[in-house]
A and B are shown apart, each in its own frame.
Chain A
Amino acid sequence: MKSDPKRLAAEMAIIVVVAAIIGITWNYRLLADVFQGRAVGAGTSDPPPAATVASAPIPLPLGLMQVKELFDRNEALIIDARDRDSYGAGHIRGAVLLPLGEADQLIPPLAANTPKDRFLIVYCNGYDCHDSRALGEKLIRAGFGQVFVFEGGFPEWRDAGYPVARGGA
């Protein structure tokens, strides 16, 4: 069987191009959110109104740009839900360490010393890490009224070149 390398290469290229078209189309919303720094799957870049927040049983998602604005204005307490090793290796500058595994011991002192209307942003490893959401739910149950999840987490923050810090775990 004689092979025609040119034709073979062309067919391989076509497969890749078709896959790229289908993949990008299929994940259009997800990719648009990612590339625009919005919360993945949130579909909106507007911060939710406070009225919604107060009654929300689950923490709402925030995108990279919104988190950066709140970070710059120093308007939010940023909470790292990952373990101590991950936090030590790198975290959002100024973030408070509150590993999900230690939440039951660490939330009561935090709740005692923090106003309940304080704006809290919880993050973990991004992508499909659910610890930030789970911790956010615990914080809501502890009485906090404004709890948000930064879904891009540490990887998105670090890759955007925003301020990070090491150690302190």
Chain B
Amino acid sequence: MDAVKRHLTALLRVALGVVFLYAAVIKIANPPAFAGNVAAYQLLPYAGNYLVAAILPWIEAICGLLLVTGWRARSAAALVAVMNILFIVLLISTVARGLDIDCGCFRQGGEKTSAWTAIFRDIMLLVAAVFVFRKTKQ
């Protein structure tokens, strides 16, 4: 039973890492597009949107890499959990403010992902991150 739990944790950890690496690579490939998506949240000044677009994908990339490799995975999982809580709060704020925007989570541009879909997805990721955090040994 313990072995099953260990394998399940490892599987979830790698899957979570891959999701975050994927999200990061898409954003790193086109910073202005991601900056535009950040701007749609209407929370930051012009240059601030670019600053977030420059830094946030690299936090996602490093966390993804650490989760996949398993090195310092607890810290990465904790940071992923914090990021997802932040994303959920921001998405709820867009619903509250009546903004109909794309979440900018993965693909930049193209079809819109509704806020509720994104919130549900982020809750799933948050649950996975908390699980990995609790079950992984540093």
Contacts and interface: CB of A to CB of B under 8 A. Distances in A.
Nearest to B82: A12
B54 A27 contact: yes
Contact of A23 (B47, B58, B79, B82): B58
User: Secondary structure of the B side of the interface?
Assistant: helix
Nearest to B38: A127
A90 interface: no
B72 interface: yes
Interface size class of B (residues with CB under 8 A): 35 or more
Interface in A21-48: 22-24, 26-27, 30-31, 34-35, 40
* A interface majority secondary structure: helix
Contacts, number: 88
A15 interface: yes
Interface stretch (A51-59, A74-82, A113-121, A153-161): A153-161
Contacts of B31: 27, 30
Interface stretch (B59-67, B94-102, B115-123): B59-67
B50 A8 contact: no
A11 B46 contact: no
Given A22-B58, A127-B39, A155-B39, 14 more contacts: A3-B74, A12-B79, A12-B82, A15-B79, A22-B62, A27-B31, A31-B50, A31-B51, A34-B46, A34-B47, A126-B39, A126-B46, A128-B32, A160-B46
18 contacts: A8-B78, A19-B62, A20-B58, A23-B56, A23-B57, A26-B54, A27-B50, A27-B53, A30-B50, A31-B51, A31-B54, A127-B33, A127-B36, A127-B39, A128-B108, A156-B46, A159-B45, A160-B46
